[in-house]
Amino acid sequence: MADKARPEEAPPEAALRRRRAAFARGVEAEAAAATLFEAKGFAILERRARTPRGEIDLVARRDGLVVFIEVKARASLRFAAESILLRQRRRIVGAAEIYLSRHPELAGLDMRLDVVLVAPGAPPLHLPGAFEAE
């Protein structure tokens, strides 16, 4: 007898649509953040950089500075800011360390950890040096 997924094991269609919509909002928010950084003279080195410690939304460089950027999209800028928890900050720092170890050409540059908050009806809010590596 062939294995059939029971209906309660399969994700409901509405949940799948919500996940796809959230993914699309995230991609749009990252594009808005990249545009913001490019307007400030940064080159985007990588988008969605994957490491064993997690993903870095954007990596940007301008002159002697490399910036690791976390993009948060929520219903309001306040909700976006509140969504950056200590556990997540630690993950981003760990991912940035791994990224730098993979890119020795960036080793001598200054490093900064920024956040860009994105919400409907508001321009993206850039928080330079939003947190420090511990």
- Label each residue of the chain as H, E or C: CCCCCCCCCCCCHHHHHHHHHHHHHHHHHHHHHHHHHHHCCCEEEEEEEEECCEEEEEEEEECCEEEEEEEEECCCHHHHHHCCCHHHHHHHHHHHHHHHHHCHHHCCCEEEEEEEEECCCCCCEEECCCCCCC
Contact between 66 and 45 (Cβ < 8 Å): yes
CATH architecture, range 13-127:
3-Layer(aba) Sandwich (3.40)
| Rounded-to-integer distance, Cα 69 and Cα 114, Å | 5
Mean pLDDT of 30-47: 96
Sheet hosting strand 54-62, strand order edge to edge = 43-51, 54-62, 65-73, 110-118, 125-127
The reported pTM is 0.84
Q: Where are the domains of the chain?
A: 13-127
Mean pLDDT of 53-59: 95
Give the chain's mean pLDDT.
88
Query: What's the confidence (pLDDT) of residue 24?
Result: 79
How much of the chain, in percent, has pLDDT values that exceed 90?
68
| Rounded-to-integer distance, Cα 70 and Cα 59, Å | 9
Mean pLDDT of 102-108: 93
Task: Note the Cα 82 to chain centre separation in Å.
Answer: 15
| Rounded-to-integer distance, Cα 44 and Cα 58, Å | 7
